[in-house]
Amino acid sequence: MSFLLLTRRVHLYLGMFLLPWVVMFGVSSLLLNHTAWFQIGANDWTTLDERANYDVQGPVPGDLRAVAARIIADAGYEPRAGFGAFKPNANRVNINLPSFRHPIRITYFSDQHRLLVERRGFAWGPTLRNMHTHDGYYLHAPGQTAWAVMVDILCVAILFWVASGLYMWWVLPGTRGWGWATLAASALSFGWLLARL
Amino acid sequence: MYLALFLGPWMLAYALSTIVMGHAWTAPQALALERELQYEANFQAGATPREQARQILVALDLDGAFSVQGPTPEGRLTINRQDLLTPRRIVYSAADGHVTVERGAFQTTTFLNRFHHRRGYDQPFAADWLMAISIDLVVVAMVFWAFSGLWMWWTMKATRGWGALCGVAGVALFAAFAWTL
């Protein structure tokens, strides 16, 4: 098998394997570029549980992840898919149990001794946006890490497609003229945007 | 092919920035004082913080995409001028008319991060609109590449077996992720 044929085959088979990710990132980019068009379902949160007189017990208050883990357990969840936690102010802990389709958010209001558990209903826009913006590595869960690895593989594939595409263009002498013109237009447009943005 | 040649820089930038962000390699943005000056504000009555910020930026010859925070109870307005290569933070203090301009040094990781997040039609500047149009073009191109790739694969009989295997494996794995995560 020649180098050219090998390049063409890897270009093709990689594309076939990663096609769902390419379509997903493409369509979700449209949603992110036109946020106002795709708000349906973004705020469709249903209360699953609300507890008054709740206080988190046990972990050292300064250890946010330990506090969040205890709150999640108290709320009756097992964070198999990992979780995110942050403190927007001194009296509040926000916890996210990530899910593409049905994310859950748990809010602990320490000054009100209140716990609120909500789940978002399914909608295409928010689901695709979740897939696009999912930060898998920091969640420390095997499934999330696997997703992040797939995103890395897609990125490496894109770099390969750009390089192999240039090579495959170069071996077609009949397309060189228009190819050079396109590359020049691309460099000018991209450079202009970088300089002006 | 020509579409791919044209959009190559966008695809490179999106791929590299995704790797940088996914691995949290973005360095914190370092800012250094560029200049200080007095600005005698003459805002129109009822001017919003955004209108006030735009007026300050125009006066400083720094007009372009920005976000604004404040004013604080002390009357301090913080403007983030979202320049891709050299971002700036401008702080205006209404109490004494003092303005500080801080400039961010160029760092590859923060530049890639800013590039990745530059999108949408919210900013009223031609360059931002052209960037948003270019993103729409990338979207159309990605969907076109996916389906034209499928069609080109189908026309090459020698690749049907392995191609189908790769396609089915990719769809199955994606569906498994979508169902479980």
ipTM of the complex: 0.86
Torsions phi, psi for A123 (to 5 deg): -155, 145
Tell me, what DSSP letter sits at residue A86? E
Same domain, B76 and B41: yes
**For an interface test with B, which of A7, A150, A154, A155 has the most B Cβ atoms less than 10 Å from its Cβ?**
A155
Q: Which residue range(s) make up the domain with B54? A: 31-106
Q: Please tell me the total count of domains within chain B.
A: 2
Q: A1-31 pLDDT, tens per residue?
A: 798 999 999 999 999 999 999 999 999 999 9
Q: Is the pTM of this model over 0.80?
A: yes
Is B113 inside any structural domain? no
Asked if the structure places residue B92 within a domain, the reply is yes
What pLDDT sits at residue B42? Answer: 83
Question: Is B117 within the bounds of a domain?
Answer: no
Examine residue B112 and state whether it is found in any structural domain, yes or no: no
Would the CB atoms of B11 and A162 count as touching at under 8 Å?
Answer: yes
B164, B100: one domain? no
* pLDDT over 80 at A61, yes or no: no
Segment B49-88, tens digit of pLDDT: 899 899 999 999 999 999 999 888 888 999 999 999 999 9
Q: Are residues B19 and B36 in the same domain?
A: no
Angle between helices A142-170 and B2-22 (to 10 degrees): 150
Same domain, B36 and B77: yes
Q: How far is B167 from chain A (nearest CA, A)?
A: 5
C-beta separation of B112 from B129 below 8 A: no
Q: What mean pLDDT is predicted for residues A86-106?
A: 90
Which residue out of A14, A17, A124, A178 would a mutagenesis test of the B interface target, given it has the greatest number of B Cβ atoms within 10 Å?
A17
Residue A119, classified by CB atoms within 10 Å of its CB into exposed (0-12), middle (13-18) or buried (19+), is middle
Q: A107 CB contacts (<8 Å, ≥6 apart)?
A: A92, A93, A94, A95, A115, A116, A118
The Cα A67–Cα A59 span in angstroms is 6
B82 and B132: one domain?
Answer: no
Size of interface A-B (CB pairs under 8 A): 174
Total number of residues shown for chain B: 181
